[in-house]
Structure formats: structure tokens, C-alpha cells
Amino acid sequence: QTVVTQEPSFSVSPGGTVTLTCGLSSGSVATGNNPSWYQQTPGRAPRTLIYNTNARSSGVPDRFSGSIVGNKAALTITGAQADDESDYYCLLYLGSGIRVFGGGTKLTVL
Amino acid sequence: EVQLLESGGNLVQSGGSLRLSCAASGFAFSTYVMTWVRQAPGKGLEWVAGISAIDGGTYYADSVKGRFTISRDNSKNTLYLQMNSLRAEDTALYYCANSVSYAMDVWGQGTTVTVSS
């Protein structure tokens, strides 16, 4: 069974840049996996940030960007702000209609 | 404004059944792939099921295949999730979302399902 992997936690200083990654337990992530990224703060529904690897969802500031780095999908936050402190999830399309979320990364801004 | 409103969550005994609904408004519901995602207490997001806009094709996570059925009524702009043979591990907040390019776009606020053993 394919597992989607993310760093369990990450920290960044205010104003700093951080790159979160999303990999596959077997194989490389490619644009065909249509990586997408979601932000969730406690008690709230997720918010869509990025779809199709690097397309920003409506209203998402341009300091959030998506890419493929090596064999993983990546979410980069530049100029981190206090309210970026959240859980971040990636989602990969594995074919045949099946999608799988990663386990999520808890980002701390301090 | 795009809105998704889930309902139908409840406390149910293990082995029981429940049907969730998601009422959509503000967009052309019949043209969108629709998805159910769940989140167990204190855990991450889990993609549960999806249904195509064009041919009504359905897709399921292995954890629910054979027990859950996703369906839609385009005349009522409503998405459903029929859940049978419920287990304690199905306890979660269930979200519906519309999908764009294999990703979720807009999310509802969720409905809570609790399965007691």
C-alpha cells in the first residue's frame, strides 16, 4: 500500500522561508500525481492553498508556492507570518480515481 | 458564494448505518467532481470517496470500500454518503468538498459521526 509521506513537524522564524515536502513511500512524485496542499488550523475546516502542483487557489497570497523538488512535491512559504502556524497536508492522485493525503506537517512559527 | 452544508452526522452503534448529506449552492453542482474527506479526533485528513461529474463513476479508499456508497442527486444539488457496517474507527468529522483538477476546492464545515462499540 502506497503511503504519502510528510515531515511530522517543522519550525520557521517570522519572516523566514520554509519548504515542506510530500513524498511517496515507493517511487517519485510527478506532476501527474497532481499534488495539492491544504492548510488547517485547530477547529476549522481545511483551506485549499495549491492545486495542480503550483496553481494557487483563489485568495491565497503569493508567498505560498508549490513545486516539484527532486522526487517530492514541495510547498514553500516565504516571509512566514504568525498566522501561518497551522497543520499542512498534501494530497496526491494515485490513479484510478484514488487520492491519498499525507500525514500532515505541524508548522510552528517562532 | 459557494457553500457546502453537511448534515446527518450522529451517534450510532457499531455495525449500524448512517447517511450523510451535503447540500451545495453557488456553483454548477452537476459539473463538479465531489468528494468526502474525514478526520478522526486528533488525527490527519483521510480521503474517503469521490464521484465523477460526467459518468457518475465512484471511487473509494480501501478502508471504506464495500461498506460506504457515495452518490449524488444533481436535481437537488446534493451529495450523499451511505455508511453501513460502521466501526469505531469510522468515528470522525466528515467533510464534503468540490473538486477541481484532482484537488479539493471549497470545503464544508463538516458533520460529526460517532460510532460506539
Q: Is the pLDDT of residue B73 over 90?
A: yes
Q: Locate A30 and state its grid cell.
A: 510527478
Give the gyration radius of chain A's Cα atoms. 13
Q: Given a cut of 90, is residue B100 above it in pLDDT? A: no
- Give the gap in angstroms from C-alpha B76 to the nearest C-alpha of chain A: 24
Q: Do the chains contact at A102 and B100, CB–CB below 8 Å? A: no
Residue A89: the pLDDT is: 98
Query: In the prediction, which pLDDT does A1 show?
Result: 82
Helix (H) or strand (E) holding A18: strand A18-24
A89 touching B, CB under 8 A? yes
Query: Percent of chain B at pLDDT above 70?
Result: 100
Rounded to the nearest angstrom, the minimum Cα separation between A4 and chain B is: 11
Residue A22: name the closest of A105, A99, A98, A95 by CA: A105
pLDDT tens string A53-68:
999 999 999 999 999 9
Q: Which residues of chain A neighbour B108 with C-beta distances below 8 Å?
A: 45
Give residue-wise pLDDT tens across range B13-67.
999 999 999 999 999 999 999 999 999 999 999 999 999 998 889 999 999 999 9
| Average confidence (pLDDT) over A66-72 | 97
Does A88 reach chain B within 8 Å, measured CB to CB? no
Give yes or no for A99 touching B (CB within 8 A).
Answer: yes
- Rounded mean pLDDT, A17-39: 97
- In this structure, are residues A100 and A50 in contact, taking their beta carbons and an 8 Å threshold? no
